[in-house]
Amino acid sequence: MNEATPIKGDQPDEIDFMELDNIIEMDFNNDPENLIMILQAIQGRYNYLPRPALRYIAEKIDVPLSQIYGVGTFYSTFSLEPRGRNIVSVCLGTACHVRGGERVRERIEESLNLTDGETTDDMRFTFESVRCIGCCSLGPVVKINEDIHGRIGAAEIAETLEKYE
């Protein structure tokens, strides 16, 4: 978390500013205290935090862009770069770790040729590690989008990933 990632150039995404207004005003009341939740809503919509949207929020809720950048890089769920169609999260909580979570992670990294936080060139997968999603009884756990794959063995990774286009 303490290693900042630089903001890349403007992404070519079309930003619907009316929609942003709806999120910022209607849902979150233009309130700077809601910044984290505003960013979550925007990431929910665009899959990442597009730079023009951040600039727009800064003006709208009157918070310096630097502070928004700070929040966007401090918290691990935010991404300033576009992410893949499928988010593969391997749980690295302690319970999963002692049950072989590390091996599962290695298999995913090898299968997708990615390291933590990276996205495949075809935008099919983004690989992330997460710290405990609270399904410890099912460890090791891999979450793909909203699906939780419990008691997964390193041997089943390739087959499981195949199911996601």
Binding site for other proteins (CB under 8 A): 1-2, 31-37, 39-40, 63, 67, 70-71, 74-78, 92-95, 97-100, 103, 106-107, 130-139, 141, 148, 150, 153-155, 158
Question: Toward other proteins, which CB reaches closer, 16 or 116?
Answer: 116
Q: Within 113-143, where are the H helices?
A: none
**Residues 54, 56, 60, 63, CA torsion sign:** positive
Instruction: Name which of 10 and 75 has its Cβ closer to other proteins.
Output: 75
Angle between helices 35-46 and 51-61 (to 10 degrees): 150
> 65: part of which helix (H) or strand (E)?
helix 65-74
Distance CA 82, CA 123 (A): 9
Binding site for [2Fe-2S] cluster: residue ranges?
91, 96, 132, 136
Nearer to other proteins, 65 or 148 (CB): 148
* Nearest distance in Å: CB 119, other proteins: 18
User: In the complex, what is the shortest distance from the CB of residue 12 to other proteins, in angstroms, rounded to a whole number?
Assistant: 26
**What's the first-to-final CA gap in the chain, in angstroms?**
30
